[in-house]
Structure 1
Amino acid sequence: MAEVQLTGVSKRFGREIGVEDLTMTVADGSFVVLLGPTGAGKTTTLRLISGLEKADAGDIRIGGQLVTNLTPAQRDVAMVFQQYSLYPHLTVRENLAFPLKSPILRTPEDEIARKVTEIAEVLRIPHKLDNKATALSGGEMQRVSIGRALVRDPQVYLMDEPLSSLDAKLRSDLRIELKRIQADLGATLLYVTHDQIEAMTMATQIGVLDNGRLVQFGTPREIYENPVSLYVASRLGLPRINTLPAEMFGGAPSGAATIGLRPEHIEHGAGKPSQVVRVEHLGDQTRLHLTLDGHDIITLTDPHTPLKGGETVAIQPRDALYFDAAGTRIA
């Protein structure tokens, strides 16, 4: 595996910004997630690293080697896409073996057989090796698609929302599997998603992108607890952070326009009276949907709360985050 370094990388498509002045290091053996909405520059970043797009400016290094002018094949990276990209007329074994039969790799047949068996075990699909790709479930097809990348043993794995087309249960299962595989292999993996749960549960570091710019890079906990802006704060957390006028509870610092409150950072029993609109019982937790001075608020409470819609509960902030009018964090 290898470290990936981007220094001042920029890419435009006509007047549209793909990425702008992007500087980031993906450490050897790390699982880095690029997070942001559609158009933030996530996929463009992957395509620049892989060589499918050429940067207008800046340097890209993989394992210390400058690769800016190298072809995709010369960069020794493997990419997994949202779609399965399997050959339907081939078996699982043949699909996994296909990348190794490239004239560039020239892998011996006995080595191909060993690697295919090994990766099938890692993916927990050895019993499916002789099945045609069309006979697989969606989750199994995506495992094979991931396996086609793993079998190559490249320097870096690049994954572009590989789980987004699967149902919720499969996504949850494969999140766990993918993190296990990455840890077992010690792989360097750069993963693109707009799904905050994937980012929080899999990443060693998260890079938050906004209109082609990297606005914060850190561990999931760092970004969740200490976001640099309201934009970053709203990317992580479910339910989303509550945003209210800064003076709603008093004591706001100078220059603050907005107070941001995570649902778990709202205390009950003292403070300003709010009305319960709805109570959501989710088993391990209960969400209270409140309204205060015309503003909607979601907070968490005891799973066995006796509160009902229409009742009143007093609330006050704890560990509040404050932001100025431009959305920048105020310490």
Structure 2
Amino acid sequence: MAEVSLVGLTKSYGTNRALADVSMTIPDGAFVVLLGPTGAGKTTTLRLIAGLDRPDAGDIRIAGAPVTADTPAQRDVAMVFQQYSLYPHLTVRENLAFPLRSPVLNWPEAEITRKVGEVAEVLRIAHKLDNKATQLSGGEMQRVSIGRALVRNPRIYLMDEPLSSLDAKLRADLRIELKRIHAELGATFLYVTHDQIEAMTMATHVGVLDAGRLVQFGTPREIYENPVSAYVASRLGQPRINLLPADAFGPAPAGAVQIGLRPEHVRIGEGQPATVRRVERLGDQTRLHLTMGPHEIVTLTDPHTALAAGAQISIRPDTPLWFDASGNRT
């Protein structure tokens, strides 16, 4: 495995600026998640590291050595795509072995057999090795797709929203599997997604992209608790942060235009009057959808609350975040 450094990466496609001066270090053995909406520059970053595209400016270093002029094969990286990159006419065993039989790697057959067996055990698909890819479920196909990357022992694994086409239960299961695999292999992962739950549950570090710029990089907890802007604050957290006019609860600090309140930071029992509009019971928690004058607010309460739609309560802010007219923290 290896540390990967991006220095001033810039890339445009025609008149569209995909990345603008992005600098970031992916530590050796880290699980880094790039988070942002469609068009933020997530996939472009992966493609530049993989060597599928060349940057207009900037440098990429793997294990301290520049690789910008290297071919994808020379960079020794592996990429997992959103859609399953499998050969449907081959068995699982043959799909997993295929990268190792390439002219670049050309492993001995005994080593291929050993490695395929190891990866199949890690991915818990050993019992499917002799099945054709077309006989697998969606989750099994994505496991095999991930396995095609794992067999190679590359310096970094690049993953482009590999779980987005799966149903909710499979996504949850494979999130756990990927984190387990990362821990067992001690591998370096760079994973891109727009799904904040994936970022919060899997990442050791999160990079938040906005229109091609890296606006914050840190641990999930750092970014959740200390976002640099309202944009970053809105990228992590479910339910999303409540953003209201700064004076919604009274006088605000100088320069503040918005107050940001995580749902768990809206306290019930005193303060401004509010009306319960809807009660959302989720088993382990209950969300209250409130109206406070013209404002809509979501907060969390006891799973067994007796509150119902129409109830009148009082609320106050606790540890609010303040943002200026540009959306930056004050």
C-alpha displacement at 1:250, in angstroms?
1.8
C-alpha distance in 2 between matches for 1:226 and 1:158: 27
The worse-fitting range, judged by mean Cα deviation, of 304-313 and 182-191 is 304-313
Q: What's 1:65 paired with?
A: 65
1:111 matched to 2:86: no
Deviation at 1:41, TM superposition (A): 0.1
CA offsets per residue over residues 45-88 of structure 1, 9 Å max, x none?
Answer: 00000000000001100111100010101100000000001000
Equivalence map 1:114-125=2 (5 Å): 114-125=114-125
Aligned to 2:177: 177
Q: CA deviation at 1:13?
A: 0.8
Q: Distance in 1 between matches of 2:172 and 2:251?
A: 41
Match of 1:52 in 2: 52
Q: Give the whole-Å Cα distance in 1 for the aligned partners of 2:216 and 2:2.
A: 22
TM-align CA RMSD: 0.5
After superposing the two structures, state which structure 1 stretch, 306-315 or 187-196, moved more.
306-315
Between 124-133 and 250-259, the greater mean CA deviation after superposition: 250-259
After TM superposition, the runs of 4+ consecutive aligned structure 1 residues lying more than 3 A away are none
Amino acid at match of 1:92: V
SS in 1 for 2:299: strand
Structure 2 residue 156 is matched with structure 1 residue 156: yes
Match of 1:89 in 2: 89
Superposition deviation, residue 26 in structure 1 = 0.2
Q: What is the identity, as a one-letter code, of the residue corresponding to 2:13?
A: F
Taking the aligned partners of 2:6 and 2:18, their CA distance within structure 1 comes to 14
Higher mean C-alpha deviation, range 23-32 or range 246-255: 246-255
Quote the residue 2:249 is aligned against. 249
Query: Aligned with 2:247: secondary structure?
Result: helix
Q: Distance in 1 between matches of 2:181 and 2:79?
A: 16
Q: Quote how far apart the aligned CAs of 1:183 are.
A: 0.9
Q: Provide Cα deviations, 1:78-109, integer angstroms capped at 9, x if missing partner.
A: 00000001000000000000000011111000
The 5-angstrom pairing of residues 182-331 of structure 1 reads 182-330=182-330
- Taking the aligned partners of 1:144 and 1:27, their CA distance within structure 2 comes to 26
How many residues align? The count is 330
Unaligned runs of 5+ in 2: none
* 2:37 paired residue number: 37
TM-score when normalising by structure 2: 0.99
Amino acid at match of 1:114: R
User: How high is the sequence identity, in percent, across the aligned residues?
Assistant: 75
Unaligned runs of 5+ in 1: none
Quote how far apart the aligned CAs of 1:181 are. 0.3
Question: CA–CA distance in 2 between the matches of 1:283 and 1:29?
Answer: 36
